[in-house]
Amino acid sequence: MALSTKAIASVGGECDHVRRTPVRTMNGEVMPPTPHRETVISNGQRAMHLQRVNLAVRVSDLAATSSAFFDVTAAGEPSEELNSLIPELRQFVELIGDLQDPPDEARRYRTLIPAEVWRQGTADFGNLSALDEDIGTALDAVEKDEADPGKLRALAERLSALSKAFSELGRGEYDRLMDPQTAEA
């Protein structure tokens, strides 16, 4: 059933994440009114959501760059320009290492989110604990010109799928931030 857009509030006043009337958006979305108590998002909660969005986007982008690098390298088309991407791949290796670290007990609240985002994004991929090592090993092999194209291609495909999963996770998190109630529907 389509949501009614005709209900018009007799009282005004809304705060950022509390809608008392249906809201019409540019894409034809109609967001229903949301009950007050359940959906007020505090600044702390908002910051947490934003951190999740940013982290998911970061992993997705770096995985995509890494995938593109290995895909082109496997096709035997290296170039100086392509090699300029290597520092980003090294950054990705480092980031994966950080994400897999257990939460810091002294600052558990802050460090829990990255680990949680990583766990959620990789949930469908089985064990990815050695991904950083796989990328590092592949990079070393490429730099020594000893890489196996088949292995590089397989790694590129894994990374591409990972990138997609994290970009969906980031968008889902964003959706939940903007519209906590209906995003769960």
Partner 1 sequence: MTAALTPAGLVLSGALDIRHRYYRLLGSLEEAKLAADLGTRAVLDAMSDDCRERMLEHAHAVRGQVIAAKARSKTASWSDTYLSQIVDRSVNGFTSLTAKHAEVYLQLQDSRKVREDLRYLLYRALNLSLVSSRHEGLVSLKTSGNLQWETTAFRSDGGTTASVSVPWLDSLGPLRWPLVVHEVAHYFLPFGDEANDLYTQIAQENGWNADAFEEIVADAVAQRHFGAAYSFALAREGYLYSFRKHVTGGLSVEQRLRALNDPADLLEALPAQWGLAQRNSLGETPEGIPDDQVTDMRNKAEEILSDLARVHELDPHLNREDAVASGIELLLATEPAPAVQKSTAAEAVEKAIAAREADPNAEVADVAQAAVHIPLTDGEIFEAAWRAEVCRDPDELVRVLGSEMTDEVIEIELAEVTKQDIWLARSLQSAAVHRWLVETMALSDAS
Which residues would be at the binding site for partner 1 (CB under 8 A)? 1-3, 5-6, 8-12, 14, 16, 19, 21-31, 43, 46-47, 49-50, 53-54, 57-58, 60-62, 64-65, 68-69, 71-72, 75, 77, 79, 81-82, 84-85, 88, 163-164, 167-168, 170-171, 174-175, 177-179, 182-183, 185
Pick 58 or 151: Cβ nearer partner 1: 58
| 52: Cβ contacts below 8 Å, ≥ 6 apart | 113, 116, 117, 170, 173
Nearest approach in angstroms of CB 13 to partner 1 is 9
Pick 16 or 124: Cβ nearer partner 1: 16
Coil vs helix vs strand at 102: coil
Residue 84 burial (C-beta neighbours within 10 Å; 0-12, 13-18, 19+): exposed
| Cα–Cα distance measured from residue 139 to residue 121, given in angstroms and rounded to the nearest whole number | 23
Pick 151 or 171: Cβ nearer partner 1: 171
Pick 1 or 106: Cβ nearer partner 1: 1
Nearest approach in angstroms of CB 20 to partner 1 is 9
* The two structure tokens encoding residue 83: 């090699």
| 45: Cβ contacts below 8 Å, ≥ 6 apart | none
| Torsional sign, CA 121, 161, 124, 182 | positive
Contact 165, 124 (CB under 8 A): yes
Nearest approach in angstroms of CB 105 to partner 1 is 27
Pick 79 or 127: Cβ nearer partner 1: 79
Nearest approach in angstroms of CB 97 to partner 1 is 18
Nearest approach in angstroms of CB 128 to partner 1 is 20
